[in-house]
Chains A and B, each alone.
Chain A
Amino acid sequence: MKVGVVTFPGSNCDEDARLAITEALGAEAVRLWHKDHDLQGVDVVILPGGFSYGDALRAGAIARFSPILREVQEHANRGGPVLGICNGFQIACEAGLLPGALLRNAELKFIHQPVHLRVEQVDTIFTARYARGQVLQIPIAHGEGRYTADAETLERLEGEGQVVFRYVGPDGNRSAAANPNGSMHDIAGIRNAKGNVLGLMPHPERAVDPRLGPADGLALFESLLAAVHA
């Protein structure tokens, strides 16, 4: 598996994502520059976390017009896997790869802390190595993570099993207290209808090395590896 990690001006989790692929997973990763028009034959594209273009206008709004996004869109349209993490999720929504939008956290603060997520779907290329209902501990670090969509979109996401990760308490149960940012339906991550694009606010690439805490993010990358090699 060859993974491309896009660097936009203001990306700051691109190296973490690359190291998760190369060090923790032992797969190949290449750096893709936002001005490139060449995905270098990668199997998977990661849109990493950070503050692309300083979050000017809205988080992800300007990155969507980066030259490389055209190739990323074509890759996604061909069914190629795209993983948007944090700012990458915001970019994917702005680019129309995923429905909805991510707004300022309900409490107006930047939040960086470990959170608990429940794996809602395991029949995806991103989560096949998890168990349904498994509770993960993965960090978040964002100011604009409040997932918002209209009622019709939410109904479709729920009905089609497109909600992949939800914020829960350590016991796996949903509650207002367990939702860090006010996301609708406690949504932490969704996939597109075709299933090849996943966006999530938490940072699985920061949870891949047991020496640094729970490595609950690793199985996401292992799932991708297995899916690409299948």
Chain B
Amino acid sequence: MMFRIHLQIVPRQGLLDPQGKAVADALHALDFPAVRDVRIGRHLVLDVDAADGAGAESQVRAMCERLLANPVTEDFAIAGVEAL
């Protein structure tokens, strides 16, 4: 079976994210004072062959650890798993 994995990779909390900070400042200027913090990362969509969703997810986690996310500066989360 094939599964579509939605993967989010964001700068680790506490590290300076200048893009996120610029956007937060712009939102404040637009009168959205409620915004406390913005972090900007990337969203990857991977189509993966696996026996089941859990298998696809564990493969993507292994990919994150080896390549897709930098363990020093980024956090990742699997935002969704769809069976295709």
Contacts and interface: CB of A to CB of B under 8 A. Distances in A.
A52 to B, nearest CB: 15
A101 B18 contact: no
A61 interface: yes
A61 B16 CA distance: 20
B68 interface: yes
B73 interface: yes
Given A57-B67, A61-B67, A108 B19 contact: yes
User: DSSP class of A's interface residues: helix, strand, loop or mixed?
Assistant: loop
B68 A57 contact: yes
Interface in B1-57: 11, 15-16, 18-19, 22
A82 B11 CA distance: 29
B18 A148 contact: no
B72 interface: yes
A71 B18 CA distance: 36
A108 B70 CA distance: 19
A148 B67 contact: no
17 contacts: A57-B68, A58-B70, A61-B70, A94-B70, A101-B70, A101-B73, A103-B11, A104-B19, A105-B18, A106-B18, A108-B22, A148-B15, A148-B72, A149-B72, A150-B72, A182-B16, A182-B18
Interface of B: 11, 15-16, 18-19, 22, 67-68, 70, 72-73
The 5 A-B residue pairs whose C-beta atoms are closest, nearest first, are A101-B72, A101-B73, A106-B18, A108-B18, A101-B70
